[in-house]
Amino acid sequence: MRGTVVEKILKAHLTNGQLSSGEIGIRIDQTLTQDATGTTSYLLFEAMDLARVRTEASVSYVDHNMAQNGPENHNDHLYLQSIAAKAGVYFSRPGNGICHQVHLERFALPGKTLLGSDSHTPTAGGIGSFAVGAGGLDVAVAMGGGSFYLPCPTVIGVELTGQLRPWVAPKDIILRLLSILTTRGNVGCVVEYFGEGVKSLSVPGRSTCTNMGAELGVTTSVFPADEVTHEFLKAQGRDKGFAPLLPEANAQYDKITKKLHAEKDAAAIANIRAYCADAEISAPDDKGMVQASFSRIVIDLSQLVPLTARPGSPEYIVPVAELADVAVDQVLIGSCTNSSFHDLMVVAAALKGRTVHPRVELGIAPGSRQVLAMIAENGALADLVAAGARILESACGPCIGQGFSPGNGRVSLRTCNRNFTGRSGTADDKVYLVSPETAVAAAITGKFTDPRSLGFAYPAIAEPKAFKLDDGMMIAPPSDGSHVEVAYSETIVKPPSGQVLPDPLQAVAAIKVGDKITTDHIMPAGTLLKFRSNVPEYAKYVFNPLNKPGEMTFAQRCQSAGKAGKSAVIVAGESYGQGSSREHAALCPMYLGVRAVIAKSIERIHQANLVNFAILPLIFENPADYDRIEAGDELAVTDVSKTVEASETIRVRNVTRGCDFACKIQLSPRQRKILASGGLLKYTRDGGK
C-alpha cells in the first residue's frame, strides 16, 4: 500500500501494530449510529460507565424505524435524543435524512476516520474519509475513546480512465467492479480509486461507488480528496482547513488472489482478464477451482454501459440492454446509494413534461432534508409530482423493507444497494439494482430500457455552488449533559453481555444453512426492526425466513438444546454473514445459547460481531467436511480454553456420526483475549485495550 491514500490516513491514526501485516489499531475521529442499531449501541456505551464521548464528533441519526407502528420506535427515538444530549452526541431528528447522505453533507472530512454501526458507512469514502462499518459494540468502544482494530488491509487499486458518457452513471462503475471482484473473497481488503477519470466524478457520484463497496465485502473504499472535493466542501460551507489528499505518483497497490469456480464464476473470470492487465489465472483443479491473481483493475469510464444487478445478489451483473422490453411494475429512486441532489435533478429533468407509465408505480425518497428543500425551491419536486411520482420520506424506508414492497413476483427496479431475495418485504420479489438514469427510463417506458435510447438529450445538471444550509433538525449536545434525564421505557431492554465459552463445549447443530447467508436471513428487518431494542423479543425471530411452518423454529431448537444442558451451533457454507452490520445477528443467537459458528467462510463485520459477543467463529479446514454434519447432530469440542488461547486449529467431534474434523481459528491475539473474557464488553470493562 506504499504511497496510497489509505496508507497516509492509517499512518496518521495508528495506535497499535504496524502497517505491514497482522492486526492494527486506529484512532477514530468520528462515529455515527442509526436508530435500528443505535439504541443497543448507546445502552452498551452506558454499560461502560462513561459520561461523555471522546471523539471529535459523534452523531446519532434516526432514519430506519420511521413507520412507528406501535410505541417501540418512538420510545427508541426519545431514548436516543436524551442519551445523545447526556453523552455529548449530535442528534439528527427523524426527517432530517439518511445517515450516510447527511453525514456526507455536514460532517465527513478528508483524512478523517469514521466508524459507524451501519455497513454502508463507507459512503464517506467518497470525500476521502477512511470510513468503516462495524457492530454497535465496536462503535460504543470507539465513542469511549478506544481504538478500532482491523487486519492491516490489502489495498486494491482501481484506476479510472476516461469519462462517463451521457446516461451512464457512477452506479454503473460499482456494478462493473462487482462483476469483477464479486461479493466474495474480499475480506480484509480496501478499494482505493485513482486515475484521471476520478476528476470527472462529483463527490456524491464517488460516494455511490464507496457506498456499494460494502457489497464487495471489503473493509471500506476510498477516493482521493482533490479540487472537486474542495468545491463540494465550499458549497456545504465547511471547507476550512481543507488540504488535498492524493496518492503518490509511484503509489504501490497490493496483489490479491481470489479463488473462483471455473464454471459458476465464469463471468467474473472473464472480467478479471478484461479489466486486470497483469492477471494470472491458473488452470482449474480437480474441484473446478481456479486461482486468479492481479494487482490493479483498470476501468475505462468511456467504455461503460448502463448495467443492472439481477435479483438475488448485487453481483449478478448484466447490461441493461440484455433485458430490453422486460416489463417493469415498480420503480424506486432513493436510498443512501442514489438520493443526492444531482440524482434527483436528473430524474426530475427527465420526467418534466412527461408522465409515469400507467403500469409503473414510482416512488422517490430524497436522501436528506437538504435535498428535499432544494428540489422544492427550484421546482423539481413539482415536476416529479406532476409526472405521477409518489414522494416518500427522507429515510431508508423501502431499501430495508419498511414499506413500498412490490407485489408478488413483480419486477421492481431500485437504486438501492442490496437486492437479497425478500429484503424488500415481499418473499418472491424480483428486485433489480440500477442507476437513477436507468430507473427513470423504465418509469417512462414501463419496461427495461437502456436510457441511451430514450431519444432526448441527457439533462445537464451542474453541481451547486452553494447548498441550502439549515441544520435546524441537527441538535448539538449541551456542553454539560449531567443534568439530562435519559428517557427509558418498558420496550427498551438492557442487552445481555457475552459469557465465557464452556469447556468442554457440548452442543447441538441447531441449523445447517447454505452459501451467502446474509444478516437479513439471520435477523430479518422490515416490520421486525422495532424489536431491536428488546433482545428477548427479537431473538424469537432468528432465522425467521428459514423457519418452516409446522416445524420448530430456530429459537425453539436452541431452547430445547439448553434444556438438555447443551449449547447451540450454527453450520454454514461460504460467505456467512453477508450484508448489514447488524450485530443482532450475533447478539440474538448468543442470547439463545449459540456458542459457535462453523462455516466455510465468514464475512468481516459478522465475524467481529461474533467475537464481540463471545461466539467462537470456526472455519472448516476441509470445506468437504461441511457435508459430514446435519442439523440436529450432537457436536463436542474439548480443551476449548487452551485451544482458543494459542492454537490455529481445533478438532470438532460429531458425536452423532462418530467422526472428527478440523477447523481453523482465524483470530488475532486481541480477539482471542476477547473470547477468553466472555466478549468485548467484559474485556473493555476489565481494562482491555
Q: Which residues are catalytic?
A: 63-64, 118, 418, 580, 582
Q: Find out whether 292 and 260 touch, Cβ atoms under 8 Å.
A: yes
Q: How far apart are CA 543 and CA 327, in angstroms?
A: 33
CB 86, CB 486: distance < 8 Å? yes
Pairing, β 317-319 against β 307-309: antiparallel
Residue 355 cell numbers, joined: 408522465
CB atoms within 10 A of CB 183: 20
Dig out the grid coordinates for 544 from the structure: 425467521
Strand ranges across the sheet with 189-194: 220-222, 189-194, 154-161, 296-300
Residue 34 half-sphere exposure toward CB, CA atoms < 13 A: 33
β-strand pairing of 57-61 with 30-34: parallel
Sign of CA dihedral 211, 217, 219, 221: negative
Which of 592, 615, 596, 606 minimizes the C-alpha distance to 536? 592
In the chain, the amino acid numbered 354 is R
The label of the residue with cell 418472491 reads 428
Residue whose C-alpha cell is 432534508 = 369
The answer to whether 63 touches 97, Cβ cutoff 8 Å, is: yes
Comparing C-alpha atoms, which of 338, 445, 443, 361 is closest to residue 410? 361
What is residue 323's DSSP assignment?
G
Element (H, E) at 269: helix 266-275
CA 563 → CA 558, 592, 593, distances in Å? 9, 11, 11
- Give CA–CA dist 618/640, Å, rounded: 12
